[in-house]
Structure 1
Amino acid sequence: MSLLSVRDVVAGYGEAQVLQGVSLDVAAGEVVTLVGRNGAGKSTLLRCLMGLHRSMTGRVTFDGRDITRLPPHKRCRLGLGYVPDDRGVYSTLTVEENLTLPPVSGPDAWSLEQVYDAFPVLAQRRRQPGTHLSGGEQQMLSVARVLRMGARLLLADEPTEGLAPILVQQIGEILRTAKQHGVTVLLIEQNIHFASTVADRHYLISQGRVVESLDNAEVERREHELLEYLGI
């Protein structure tokens, strides 16, 4: 059974309809990417899954439970964690304060010791404020924070955007570490090559619909075509 099941989700902003009947499934323990051009509806979909975009129809099921009408805080308690594209780090708080301020919301929450063991750089910088972290370290902190809260499903919006190649590699390690600890991941990613190194499957979204489901072998075979399609 899928951990996350999405059926016929339609959503928009006012008169503009962005999602036009999205359906997809993510199994427990998978890393799955949403790939598509800017404006295809990927970020809107993640916001719908987290309950942050209420103007939607369709059905969202998590671990066999219909969560379509649940508010965000109740979805969080069930084990959904959201890393927005702006990372959401509290810049004036230390790394440790960023990790301990949000409430623990589930039985699968990581302890601080687990976080520091998985992300040694955060242990080294535990007393430093968020403003002193690099972009890659901030992304690491934003992921670690939702794991500390008890996320079983991590929703990440373009975690590698704007990062140098060495930091992109670090983000890959973060996602692989999360998977090794049993966390399921659904992320938006424009970097096709990077996506194929961390994900099990990929959903191609176009004009608010899922048009294809691709495995890594197919992504590799069609990489040039996909790069042209994405305008990269």
Structure 2
Amino acid sequence: MLRIENLSAAYGEAVVLRGVSLEVGTGEVVTLVGRNGAGKSTLLRCVMGLHPSYTGRIELNGRDLAALPAHRRARLGLGWVPDDRGSYAGLSVAESLLLPPTVGPDPWPMARVYDTFPALHARRDSPSTKLSGGEQQMLALARVLRMGARLLLCDEPTEGLSPLLVQQVGDILRTAKEHGVTVLLVEQNVHFAATVADRHYLLVNGVVAETLDNASVRSRERDLLAYLGI
């Protein structure tokens, strides 16, 4: 579904990504792991078109995205789940869910959204910016699923969440995968990543250093945690 070839990106003269190549197959959950500053979030922003200062090639289902701005990439089925949750000021939970357009052939109906996210159903008339951090994270995930996005770009969805909410995020990602949704996930919690993902790319100084399967992550979890500074 997603193919990235020789991707390099910079902020001014500071090079963040250096010739990154990776693939995410349809229906896969793939994580990017690495230290802060390794370029993980920048890679997601390049894919979404939010950081246009890059070279290389990004393809979605064989289509080169280079000439497309972010809103047109979203229309192709990219769903952006930012690390700041992206709640809409002044809109209720229900309005936030219904505002974005449908972008895929199989959008989640509101009944499924509320069944999967019961806390959002209970708070559906509340201002979205008044939700707790965990509820705002659930809203960010629910919003792109309701749109019918086929590839979710999730930036640190478990950051700052309680263990119970982390477990709920994992359940939701696994449910989305069962419905054919593909996920590219930035995640510092390697233990969590190994419970939801099929494969993992380790980024070191803007370069893909290794591709790891779950068995490798579990056997090397202590070393990875030490490397990541967690």
Q: Deviations over 1:72-109 (max 9, x none)?
A: 11111110011111000124321101101112223222
TM-score normalised according to structure 1 size? 0.96
**Structure 1 equivalent of residue 198 of structure 2:** 200
Counterparts of 2:21 and 2:41, CA distance in 1: 15
Give, in whole Å, the separation in 1 of the partners of 2:198 and 2:19.
Answer: 23
Q: Does 1:215 align with 2:213?
A: yes
1:147 matched residue in structure 2: 145
Q: TM-score when scaled to structure 2?
A: 0.97
Moved over 3 A (4+): none
Deviation for aligned residue 1:69: 2.1
Which residue of the partner structure matches residue 103 of structure 1?
101
* SS of equivalent to 1:138: helix
Instruction: Structure 2 unaligned segments of length 5 or more: list them.
Output: none
Matching residue of 1:159: 157
Structure 1 residue runs without a partner (length 5+): none
SS in 2 for 1:69: coil
Number of residues of Structure 1 aligned to a counterpart in Structure 2 = 230
The percentage of counterpart residues that share the same residue type is: 69
* 1:186 positional shift: 0.5
Structure-1 residue corresponding to 2:170: 172
Structure 1 counterpart of 2:82, from 81, 84, 103: 84
Match of 1:41 in 2: 39
**1:25-76: per-residue Cα shift (whole Å, max 9, x none)?**
0011111110000000001000000011111100011112111221111111
Instruction: Give 2:27's match in structure 1, choosing from 25, 29, 42.
Output: 29
Q: Which residue of 2 aligns with 1:63?
A: 61
SS of the residue aligned with 1:89?
coil
Q: Is this contact kept in 2: 1:136–1:170, CA < 8 A? A: no
Deviation by residue 1:126-166 (Cα, 9 ceiling, x = unmatched): 11112332211111110110111221000000001111111
Distance in 2 (CA, whole Å) between partners of 1:133 and 1:44 is 27
Query: What is the DSSP-based 3-state SS (H/G/I as helix, E as strand, rest coil) of the residue aligned with 2:19?
Result: strand
Please report how far the alpha carbon of residue 204 of structure 1 lies from its aligned counterpart in structure 2 after TM superposition: 0.2
